[in-house]
Amino acid sequence: MQVLRRAALRVGGRLLSSVPAVLGVVVLTFLVMRVLPGDPAVYFAGGPSAGQEQIDALRVQMGLDKPLPVQLLTYLRDIARGDLGRSLTTGQPVVVDIAQRLPASLELTLTALLLALLAALPLGILAALRPGSAVDHLVRFLCTMGVCMPTFVSGLLLVYVFYYLLGWAPDPTGRIDVFAASPPEITGFLLVDFALVGDGEGWRAAAAQLILPSCTMALFVLAPLARMTRASMLAVLGGDFIRTARAMGLPGWRVILVHALRNALLPVITITGIVFSTMLGANVLVEKVFSWPGVASYALDALQASDYAPVQGFVLLMASIFVLVNLVIDLLYGLADPRAAG
């Protein structure tokens, strides 16, 4: 009970203390959008050739004729009501757009993160167990490749090899084959929805669509995770308590997995949080290459169209996710390390 209350207090405190940061981000984005060249009224009136009257009418309708502080206040009031404005490109409320597209981005990012962790942890552990060996060098090479290749290059390479040459992967456009039936919308995560309705074939099709883009992203973040695992494992393996565990005759796998890995994971948890947040924002290239209907490509399109509301909504979303992820990492850390929980 006491523990739960303390945890709740901590969560509340953390959320409260992140309000200024989120607010700052919102205001900054708002200002930056206004400073950027390009007039949305002109853009949506159909270009500079449209009549001045038409443009002015649009401007009044969008509230752009009011002074900046008033616009900002109006915007903040709308946010407080849960209204992020309306996208002029799609004609829908931004909240609806984002709600439709966020699951796609999340599904892609989470799958990629899972794949990256599944690859990075064993690679990092292997490299740490034999520092300087061939395995270590191979891991270092893989990581370097993953980092130094831009995601659109590695993405296109994967498409070229697995779709064009080998034909193993399906047509790399979107989350699901255009002719296939979508599952009923329950969570928005296709894999979960297909699994919930028990559609095995649909699940496989969705997974096949997902595998290339998520591999592309996983490759990109493999390096920080694997390198961190290796460094952290090396440090822990040199620790006194590992020597104690060996001196007490514990089996080798137990020493490595129970004693070394659990301690080595602590810094990896922190890095995972950072990596996840970066992935969510930075996967725009992957979404573009694979025509993935995610939030990042949505924001990019809006940015090009000087469509303020979706961009501001996207930044607000990212800031909130960042806060949430950091909070989760914090709580995880408290669970994993009794010293941090105090």
Contact between 336 and another protein by CB under 8 A: the answer reads: yes
For another protein, the closer of residues 72 and 336 by Cβ is: 336
Mention every residue, 6+ apart, whose C-beta is less than 8 A from residue 178. none
Per-residue x/- marks for another protein, 226-255, CB under 8 A? -------------xxx-xxxxxxxxxx-x-
Residue 340 per-residue DSSP state: H
86 DSSP β-pair partners? 93
- Cβ 6 to another protein shortest distance, Å: 16
- Cβ 287 to another protein shortest distance, Å: 39
- Cβ 121 to another protein shortest distance, Å: 17
Residue 223: what are its φ and ψ, rounded to 5°?
-60, -55
- Cβ 310 to another protein shortest distance, Å: 44
For another protein, the closer of residues 34 and 246 by Cβ is: 246
Q: How many CA atoms lie within 13 A of 154 on its CB side?
A: 22
Q: Which two tokens stand for residue 36?
A: 């950027």
Contact between 2 and another protein by CB under 8 A: the answer reads: no
Per-residue x/- marks for another protein, 256-285, CB under 8 A? --xx--xx----------------------
For another protein, the closer of residues 77 and 254 by Cβ is: 254
First to last CA, the chain: 15
Q: Which two tokens stand for residue 145?
A: 């490749």
Contact between 303 and another protein by CB under 8 A: the answer reads: no
Q: With CB under 8 A, what is the number of residues at the site for another protein?
A: 22
Alpha-carbon gap, residue 187 to 194, rounded angstroms: 10
Alpha-carbon gap, residue 117 to 126, rounded angstroms: 14
Alpha-carbon gap, residue 188 to 191, rounded angstroms: 9
- Interface with another protein by CB under 8 A: which residues? 239-241, 243-252, 254, 258-259, 262-263, 336-339
